[in-house]
Structures are given as structure tokens and as C-alpha cells.
Amino acid sequence: MTDRVDLLLRLLLTELGEPRRGKDLAEEAHLSRAHAARAFRRRFGESPAAFRRRLRLERAAWALRRTSQSVTDTALDAGFDSLEGFTRAFARAFGVSPSLYRRSGLRSHLLPAANGIHFQPTGQAMPTEVRMDILSHLLAFDEAFVRQAITQARGLPEATLDQPLGETQPLSFDSPDRTLRDLLDKLIFNKEVWLGAVRGLPLPAEPRDRSLDALEGRMNAAFPAFAQLAREVQQEAKWQQTFVDALCEPAEVFPYGGMLAHVLTVDAHRRHVLSSWLWLLGVRLEADPMHFGMQPEGNPLGPRSGTGVGL
């Protein structure tokens, strides 16, 4: 059975731009369609159709950022019959339209996947990791959570976003009377400020634009750039190396690993506070990354145990 599922995997990875019927692929792997779907999902956490659709969208995202071909041609190369269908599928997966994705400077073409198999620039989809990469997992979850939080916030009254929460503030460097807008802003600004410290990038002009549109735009720039910084630290084993943070007065020296741990820890706290208050407003956002990526066809962040309601 393992050999047949491996064969099905190889078949799914071939000719991503060509239409391939699930029934035909299953037969080539010497499996019934129903048996193929169950076995593949059990092993890889996605149905064959969802797996192939994700890889096609990842390939399209890669092409949008690295080629000059039109969005229409990208859609056709990705195997979509129409630009409209491609645009809807792309926006559901990446949170923005293909055109905005191309303009906004997002670097990563990868979508959340618990199995670690992604489209590669060589044109093949191959495993990118043998075991779960906890750093990438947490950063991808953080981005997915904040993106969904901004989307949900658009359905709330502006006054609600700016109402003081009145909760205990354990972080000495944060204001004591936070609002939902403050939390969204800080979840983004925390990446912006450390990118500024390490890369020398400019910070948003003060006072920062904290409208929901501006928050989304800032996020689209900061989150992929911060994830790239984290990958460099990981790949180059720079955990104990230090850098000078010239934004501090006076300047301070920090280790890269400590900085990443700080961002992940502080932002996890902010996510839980934000989630708790949104739940009181009837907006269900799961702040626990436990099941992130395990439900690719439904809710990618998964429900809270026993609630049946997730992000």
C-alpha cells in the first residue's frame, strides 16, 4: 500500500498545469478513487485534489513574483479554465488577489502544509523537510492568524476596535490600556521594528496609519520579510550571533536567536489576548497553533477542542 501511495504522490506532482482526473490518477496507482483519497489523506493530511490544487497555486504565486507573464497566462499555466476562477481560488489561499500579491512584495509562494511538500522553483514539488519545522510552523500560523483577525475586524464597528480592553498588562513596554486596534498594530509593528533593527529598513511614519487597510498593507510587507530573516538565522545557524540594534537609545546588542524567541513569545501573548476579546464579541479565532495546517480543505487553523468552531 505504501508503494501505491508513493506512486500516487509522484503522479500528482507531474504536469501541474495539465488537467488530471482523480479517477484516472487513482487507477494509474492501482487504487480505487475512494481508497486512494483515504490513504493519501491519512498519510499526507490533504486529499489528492486539495494537495494538487495547493501546489498549482504555489506555482502560480512563484510565477507572479518572479516572471513578467500576465495574470491571465499564469492562470492558464496553473491549469485554471478562467481568470475569474483562478482569482477566486488565489484570493482564498493567499488572502489577496493575484495582482495585489504581485505588487505588494510578498516573497513566499508557500501555503501552509503539514506534510512539508511544496512547489519548488525547479518546477518540481518535493519534500522540503523530513520533520516538522517548528519555526516555520509558528511564523506561518502567526501570519494566518493576524490576516484572519484583520478580515474579521472589518465586520466590527470602528468604535469597538478603539474601545479600551481594560485587561491586566504584563508587558512593561506596552501601553496599559490596549484596544483591539492596538493589538493588531503591535502584532505587525513588532516585526517592522526588528526588521528595521536588523536590516536597516525604515519604520512606518509616526503616527502610524492603523486603519485596517493600512494594517493589511503593512502586514503584507513585514511578515514575509521577517519570515525570510528567520529562515536566514536558521539556515546559517546564527542563533548565538549578535547584532547591534541602533534603534535603541543607547544602542544595544542582541542575539538573533533571542530576538526571534522574543517576537514569538510576545506575539503569542498578544494573539491570545486578541482572541479572547474577539470571542466575547462573537468572533471565533483560535490562538493555539496546535492543529494549524491539519485541515487544508476547511479551516486551516482548526477548531478549539469541543467547540466545533474555528478560525
CA 120 to chain CA centroid, Å, is: 17
Asked, for residue 114, whether it belongs to a domain, the answer is: yes
CA distance 211 to 156: 13
Domain check: are 140 and 279 in the same one? yes
pLDDT along the chain (311 residues), means of 10: 62 59 59 71 81 86 86 88 92 88 71 76 46 80 92 93 79 74 95 93 90 94 91 89 90 95 94 91 86 52 38 34
Identify the CATH number of the domain in which residue 284 sits: 1.20.120.450
For the record, the C-alpha cell of 300 comes out as 486551516
Q: What is the reported pLDDT for 26? A: 59
Long-range contacts from 46-52, C-beta under 8 angstroms, 24+ separation: 46/113, 46/115, 46/296, 46/297, 47/297, 48/8, 48/12, 48/22, 49/22, 50/296, 50/297, 51/12, 51/115, 51/117, 51/296, 52/12, 52/16, 52/20
Asked, for residue 13, whether it belongs to a domain, the answer is: yes
Domain check: are 44 and 120 in the same one? yes
Asked, for residue 301, whether it belongs to a domain, the answer is: no
| SS3 assignment, position 53 | helix
Q: What is the reported pLDDT for 303? A: 42
Residue type, 145: F
Three-class secondary structure assignment of 226-255: HHHHHHHHHHCCCCCCEEEECCCCCCEEEE
Domain span at 141: 134-291
Domain check: are 144 and 273 in the same one? yes
Domain check: are 138 and 279 in the same one? yes
Asked, for residue 169, whether it belongs to a domain, the answer is: yes
Asked, for residue 281, whether it belongs to a domain, the answer is: yes
Q: What is the reported pLDDT for 3? A: 61
CB 22 within 8 A of CB 37: yes
CA distance 112 to 300: 8
Q: What is the reported pLDDT for 16? A: 58
CA distance 6 to 10: 6
Asked, for residue 309, whether it belongs to a domain, the answer is: no
**Domain C-terminal end among 127, 159, 186:** 127
Q: What is the reported pLDDT for 84? A: 93
Q: What is the reported pLDDT for 304? A: 41
Domain check: are 79 and 140 in the same one? no
Those residues with Cβ within 8 angstroms of residue 88's Cβ, 6 or more apart along the chain or in another chain: none
Identify the CATH number of the domain in which residue 65 sits: 1.10.10.60
**Terminal-residue alpha carbon distance, the chain:** 35
Domain check: are 276 and 138 in the same one? yes
**Domain C-terminal end among 67, 102, 127:** 127
Domain check: are 217 and 163 in the same one? yes
Q: How many domains does the chain have?
A: 2
| SS3 assignment, position 135 | helix
Asked, for residue 306, whether it belongs to a domain, the answer is: no
Enter the pTM of the model.
0.56
Q: What is the reported pLDDT for 31? A: 64
Domain check: are 155 and 267 in the same one? yes
CA 223 to chain CA centroid, Å, is: 9
Domain check: are 97 and 161 in the same one? no
* CB-CB neighbours of 243 under 10 Å: 16
Asked, for residue 47, whether it belongs to a domain, the answer is: yes
**Domain C-terminal end among 109, 127, 145:** 127
Q: What is the reported pLDDT for 263? A: 96
Q: What is the reported pLDDT for 302? A: 45
Domain check: are 92 and 171 in the same one? no
Domain check: are 115 and 159 in the same one? no
Q: What is the reported pLDDT for 252? A: 92
Domain check: are 283 and 143 in the same one? yes
